[in-house]
Amino acid sequence: MKSVLRLVTVDPDERSRNALKSMLLGVETVWLEAECSRYESFMDIAKQTMPDIVLINLDSNPSRALQMVGEVARSQISCAVLVVSSSQEGSLILQAMRNGAREFLNLPIQLEDFVSALDRIRVSLGGGTSEGSSRGGQIITIAGVAGGVGCTALAVNAAAILAQEARNSPVVIDLDMTLGDADVWLDIIPEHSIRDLADNMSRLDYGLLKRSLTRHESGVYLLPRPLEMEHADAIRPDDLRRILALLKATFSHLIVDTSKVFGRMDLAVMEVSDRILLITQLDLSCLRNVIRIMQFLEHFPAIRGKVEIVVNRVGLEDCDISLNKALEAIGRSVFWQIPNDYPVMAGARNNGVPLCQFAPRSKLTRSLTEMVLQLSSPDQPNKGTEEPVRKRGGLFGLFAGR
């Protein structure tokens, strides 16, 4: 898992506390472990949580807050003290630093100043700078143009391939809230789910996160869909964004298996994703949906530039449409072609074993491995892709002149 700085703050002003929480959602290498609204009770909270950083707002009571800075610095809590204030008075800044503050930032806090202060604190704590790691983990969302096109199989097996590298820590998030079956593919019977996190957002921390995940022997972590169907609507997009922020700060890769409705939850995760794979097959219904979905996603600036088309089960015997005809119809290139190998894929699923363990030398496994390498290393050349076709023809023309 990735290194994350745990932060505890004391600030009697509710508005500035909320502003800090909103800013921290965009900083993946920091987690707000606890917040306190009273200077008097702050030391007890700090001793209980033992954070990496203590953030103290001086404005409500500067003399008491400065005293608190000294108490933290003299305590047995091994942490860095970061002080914030709307005042720029030199004597106040000097006194805070003399009392043991490591950094002083002016309110309202600017994100760039905050990240720079974190870098300096990380160096002082012996962790190096956050450059190169501040972006957190990579979020890859897998969405299907129809049911049964292989999204869950690709999500689970891509994660398992990533987990073969010791430096990777992939987690699969099942966002098909009613009928998701990522647990079946991994032969896991989960005790907890994403519902547990959503129900405890006010006290969400790494302990609760860890308890809600299930680890497969391959090294893949799974955050399952709610265990009961009646709880499928209990999660809000804002809750999901916060869960993703914590997971992104903790894991190297988030592989998200979405539903097929392209609803608010699906769009929320797509907006924060690094890559979006739209999975299709070479049949008329799927290709029609590719066009419809791409047109729909064009309305979302945070999504439209991230979408790549992946053609699954290439070579399926009962497919009546050639790849060239499909490209002409949709007017786009494809990112990857995955060969059809039903016996191998079905065997892996029925045994609850990822392809990289069940059939590591199969053509299907090799293709998926190359695709994962490309996703993780964008500088690699795209294998199995086609040049974009600029002119789009009618769908029913797919069956003519093959």
Give the HSE-up count for residue 184: Cα atoms under 13 Å, Cβ half-sphere: 10
Report which of residues 346 and 327 the model is more confident about.
346
Model confidence at 129, in pLDDT bands (50, 70, 90)?
very low
Give the whole-number percent of the chain exceeding pLDDT 90: 55
Mean pLDDT of all residues in 299-323: 87
Helices (H) then strands (E): counts for the chain: 17, 13
Q: What is the mean pLDDT of the chain?
A: 86
Mean pLDDT of all residues in 282-306: 93
| pLDDT of 128 higher than 90 | no
The beta strands (E) that lie in 242-306 are given as: 253-257, 275-280
pTM over 0.95: no
> What are the structural domains of the chain?
5-124 (3.40.50.2300), 138-399 (3.40.50.300)
Report which of residues 193 and 394 the model is more confident about.
193
Q: pLDDT tens across 80-114, in order?
A: 999 999 998 999 999 999 999 999 999 998 888 88
Mean pLDDT of all residues in 193-215: 80
Rounded to an integer, what distance in angstroms lies between the CA atom of residue 160 and that of residue 237?
27
Q: In a 10 Å sphere around its CB, with 0-12 CB exposed, 13-18 middle and 19+ buried, how is residue 288 labelled?
A: middle
Mean pLDDT of all residues in 166-178: 91
Rounded to an integer, what distance in angstroms lies between the CA atom of residue 144 and that of residue 251?
24
The β-bridge relationship of strands 5-10 and 30-36 is: parallel
Rounded to an integer, what distance in angstroms lies between the CA atom of residue 222 and that of residue 194?
10
Listing DSSP states for 323-388 in one string gives: HHHHHHHHTS--SEEEE--HHHHHHHHHHT--HHHH-TTSHHHHHHHHHHHHHH-TTS--TT----
Task: Tell me whether the omega of the peptide bond preceding residue 360 falls within 30 degrees of 0, making it cis.
Answer: no
Q: pLDDT tens across 337-395, in order?
A: 999 999 999 999 999 899 999 999 999 999 999 999 999 875 544 444 444 444 555 55
Cβ-contact 319, 282 below 8 angstroms? yes
